[in-house]
Structures are given as structure tokens and as C-alpha cells.
Structure 1
Amino acid sequence: MTTPRDLLIIAMDMESSRPVERGDLSLALAAAETIDLLGGDDIALTEGRIVPGLERAMADLLLDEAVSSLTRTEPYESVGDWLWRRGRGLSETYLTALEAEGLLTRRRRRHWLLVRDDGFELVDSPARRVASSRWAADEPVLAALGEAVGIRDQQAGESPGTAGDGVEAVLDALNDALSELSAERQRRARRRQDAAADNVQRGY
């Protein structure tokens, strides 16, 4: 299993203080992929940009897809731009992959907090147990990603420390992207509220 797969399983398995938005999770999955690629020396970070290493086949198909889509010409791509590009619809991609692997089953009624109209349910599997063990051990990277999307309560303990400037740079870029996405949601909500108020004044 990989960090993004473990993160998705935990997002489905754990209760959180607020629903996990699909956009937030997609960005976090892209960040998790980036951290795994850093750990495998498939990429390096130079002045906030992702420098690809030698392209090689990855054991995980989704990580292989990520590597194949890296920008391989200078000045390369910033971490933030990569998270936005790679993260687009990534939660759906991972859900589809886990369903195809038999790790999820569909059901109409949902209890977990990832926002969807039709729900998925985790099946009991070694992958689920590995992710749960990693989460229970408070593994730093997984804990930091969970905290970023709200499935780990920061008040429950100190913020997890992560090793390496590269990992910290990815997490910083993720938090910036999440803040930007949250601000955009607030702007859209205000526009809807303003439009609703205008309709009331006009008698609609």
C-alpha cells in the first residue's frame, strides 16, 4: 500500500469533526503521492519545484500515472501547481481503483464523511488493517495529512513532526492550497447569499 491509499482508507474509516470535502482530499492525495515519490527518490525538490528523476515503472499503478504526468522540462513545476493539476478529481480516481481491487463495496446509504451522493463501504482487508495500524502508531506523514484535511484533531495532541525539508515543503504547499480552496468556497457562499437576498427583495 501507499500513503495516498492509506489516507483514503483512514478518511473513510475515521470519524472527524467535519466532513472531508472531496476537493480537500484530492489535494491531500496528490500531496501524499508527492511525498511517496520523494521517499523513493523518484523526484527531488529544488527551490520549490519538482525535478523528476529517471522515469521507471512503479509497482503502484496510480503512482506510475503520477510519475508519467510530471513536467520534465525546465523550469519544471512548482509543488503548488502540481498539487492543483494532479489533484483534480484524484479522490474519485482512488475510489475507483480501490473498488476495482475489491477493497470497497458500494452502498446507497453512507455513514463515513467523505462527501458523495452514493456511498462506499470499506471491506475488511489486510490493506485496511495496515492503514489502521499506521494511523494508530501516529506515523508522522499520515498524521500530518490527516490533520490537514480534518480527520485528525490537532487539539488531541501536538502536531506531528515530519522528517525532511522536502516533506515539510509539500505539506506547506498543501496547507496553502487548502486555504485557497476554503477561501474560494467562502466567496462562492457569499455570492449565493447575496443572490438569495436580492431575490427576496425583488419578491421571489
Structure 2
Amino acid sequence: MSTPRDLMIVALDVAPSRPLGRGDLSLALAGAEAYDLLRTGTVRLRGDRLAPLTGPDPEDGLLAEAAAALVREEPYEPLPDWLWRRGRGLSSAYLAALEAEGQVTWERSRWLPFRGGRTVLSDTEARRRAAYRWAADEPVLLALAAAVGIREELTPGDPAVADDTALAVLAAVHDAVMELEAVRQRRAIEAAAFANVWRGA
């Protein structure tokens, strides 16, 4: 089971509640990787820092890449920094991996989720597993999906995440997505101001 792969499949399979940003999804995928690495004992949280542990590499190729990318010298890397560094372009990497495995194909369409075509998910075991976790309201998967707009924000009636480590990862993802949105808004304001000055010149 790979939480980031399941999140990526869900992102391709479920109509989002708001426009889905590639950067938002990449941050959430990095958070999902951190969650899986923590869950399998590849790394542990020391305060807010990811401290690698010795052990076998994850079987999943992209998770193995994530494990190899961990900072292995003290004081180690803060989780928020990991999300930004590891998350750079991560949605494209997962999409390419799914495509290489035959999990997705492309059809030309006016709807452009990531590039010049529409993704079509194949009927595979990976898709069925992701669909099962989604239908079962798996708490971490739901929370990651809500953070990036794949589904509406969580409500008190949704399953709660009880694990403190998972909560720390989810909080870091939420903060990073909010920070990215703030950057977008600031750039939009700056661009509008520049356009107004240019028109007035």
C-alpha cells in the first residue's frame, strides 16, 4: 500500500471540489510519502524533524527515492522543509510512473488536468485498492484530499485521524498549501499592480 500512489489515483479519478493545483498536489504527495515512511519505520519525527532510521528500503520505487533523499546528518531536516524540497514536481513524477506502469493512458480532450490530454485510468489492482481506501473513508487519505481540494473540507462527521505523527504530517501539509496559496495571491496582486502602472504609463 502506497498512500501517495493512492492519492494520485484518487486525484485522477475523482472530480475535485475546486480547481486542483499541481503545486498543491505535489505538496500533499510529499506529505503522503512522509506519512508512509513514518508508518513503516523508515524515519521518525524528532520534534518537527525527520530523523532517518536504518532498515530495508521501501519496495515502492518512488518511496525508495524519497527515503534516499532524506537528510541523514543532524540536526536533520524539518518536515515543512521536506515538503517543499521533495514536493517540487512530484505530481508529474507520480503521473509519469503511473503512465509507465500502464495505470493511465491519455485521450485528447478540452479538459486539461496536467497536460494536453485527458487521463484515463486503467482497471487495475492499484486503482481498485485506491478506490477501496477512498470508499472506506480512510482518514489520512481523506485529510490529504481535503487539503488540496479533491474533496470538501473535513467535517466533524468524517473519520478522525488519531495518530499524533499523522496529525503532524497533515498539519504541515495544510500549512504548506496555505502558504502556497498566499504566494499565488501575492503574485496576482503584484501582476495586477504592474499591469495598472503599465497601462497608465
Unaligned runs of 5+ in 2: none
- Report Cα offsets for 1:131-157 as digits up to 9, x if no partner: 111101100010010110111212676
Q: Which of 161-170 and 182-191 deviates more?
A: 161-170
**Equivalence map 1:135-146=2 (5 Å):** 135-146=134-145
Amino acid paired to 2:29? L
TM-score (normalised: structure 2): 0.94
The question of whether the paired residues in 2 share the 8 Å contact of 1:20 and 1:150 is answered with yes
Alignment of 1:42-81 (within 5 A): 42-81=42-81
Q: How large is the RMSD of aligned CA atoms in angstroms?
A: 1.7
Q: Which residue of 1 aligns with 2:186?
A: 187
Query: CA separation of 1:176/1:159 partners in 2, compared to 1, >3 Å: closer, same or farther?
Result: farther
1:56 Cα deviation from its structure 2 partner: 2.2
Q: How many residues align?
A: 201
Q: 1:133 corresponds to which residue?
A: 132
**TM-score of the superposed pair, with normalisation by structure 1:** 0.92
Cα offset, 1:163, TM superposition: 2.7
Cα distance in 1, alignment partners of residues 101 and 63 from structure 2: 15
Q: Helix, strand or coil: the match of 2:157? A: coil
- Check conservation: 1:19, 1:115, Cα contact below 8 A: no
Are 2:143 and 2:154, in contact at CA under 8 Å, matched by a contact in 1? no
Q: Which residue of 1 aligns with 2:160?
A: 161
Distance 2:155 2:39 in 1: 28
Q: Percent identity?
A: 51
Consecutive aligned runs of 4 or more in structure 1 exceeding 4 Å deviation: none
Closer/same/farther in 2, CA of residues 109 and 12 from structure 1, 3 Å limit: same
In structure 1, list runs of 5 or more residues that go unmatched: none
